[in-house]
Amino acid sequence: MKWLNLALSLLALGVGIAAWQRSSPAETAWLKGTPGQQVAQLEKHARGLDVAMAEIGYRYGELLRAQGQEQDELARYHLDKIRLALFLAVERRPKRHASARPFLEQAVPEADQALKSGDRVRIAGAMENLHQACLSCHAAEKVDHFIPVVERIRREHGH
Ligand code: HEC
C-alpha cells in the first residue's frame, strides 16, 4: 500500500500548493497601481446613490410592513439603516446633499420619535411625511420616474 500513501501525499501536496497559490496576493489582488489609484478604484466600487436607493427601497418596504404589524423596534431598525445608507450616499455624492436634508433632518427623526412613542395616529402621520419626503427629493433631483416605484412599494408593503 506504499504507492497509495505516496499518491495520497502527492495529492495533498498538490491541493496545498493550489490553495497557497489562490491565497497568495499576486493571484488575488484586484487593486492595481499606487495606493492613490487603488483608493480611486475602491471609490468606484462604493457606487453612488443608485445602489443606496436599491437598499433604501427594500428597507422602506420592510419598515412599512413592520410598523403595520406594530413591530416598532424592527421598523426603527430599518429606518436607521435607511438614514445611514442615505447619509453615506450623499457623503459620496455631495451635490445631492441639499435635497437630502429635509429627509434626514426632519422626516427621519420625526418618524423615529413617533415609532418610539407607539402612538398609532402619530406614527401614521410620520409615515405619510416620510413618504412625501422621499417623493420631494426625487422631484428635486429630477428623478420623478422613480416616484411610481415608491408608490408601488407602499401599496405592496403598507397596510
Ligand atoms: C437625495 C434625495 C433622495 C431621497 C431623500 C430619496 N431618494 Fe430615492 N432616489 C434618489 C435619486 C437621485 C435616485 C436615482 C439614483 C440614480 O439615478 O443614481 C433615486 C432612486 C430611487 C429608487 C430607484 C433605485 C433603482 O435604481 O432601482 C428607489 C426605489 C428609491 N429611490 C426609493 C426611495 C425611497 C423609498 C425613499 C424614501 C424612504 C427615497 N428614495 C428617498 C434620491 C433620493
For the chain, the domains span 1-30, 46-157
Check whether 16 has a pLDDT greater than 90: no
> Are 52 and 85 contacting, i.e. CB atoms less than 8 angstroms apart?
yes
Tell whether the model's pLDDT for residue 9 goes beyond 80.
Answer: no
DSSP 94: G
Angle, CA of 117, 72 and 64, to the nearest 5° = 115
CA distance 57 to 121: 24
pLDDT above 70: percentage of residues in the chain: 82
Element (H, E) at 9: helix 2-23
- Ligand 1 centroid, distance to 98 Cα (angstroms): 14
Q: Is residue 53 within 6 Å of ligand 1 at its C-beta?
A: yes
pLDDT confidence of 29, banded at 50, 70, 90?
Answer: confident
Write the pLDDT tens digit of every residue in 95-149: 999 999 999 999 999 999 999 999 999 999 999 999 999 999 999 999 999 999 9
Q: What is the enclosing helix (H) or strand (E) of 100?
A: helix 97-102
Ligand 1 atom closest to the Cα of residue 150 is 35
Among 65, 146, 154, 157, residue to substitute to test ligand 1 (most atoms within 8 Å of Cβ):
146
Minimum mean pLDDT range among 17-26, 30-39, 97-106: 17-26
pTM, full prediction = 0.85
For residue 88, the tally of other CB atoms under 10 A from its CB is: 12
**Which residues touch 155 (CB under 8 Å, ≥6 apart)?**
none
Per-residue pLDDT, 63 = 98
Residue 12 Cα, ligand 1 centroid: separation in angstroms? 52
Kindly tell me if the per-residue pLDDT of 4 is higher than 60.
no
- C-alpha–C-alpha distance, residues 111 and 80, integer Å: 10
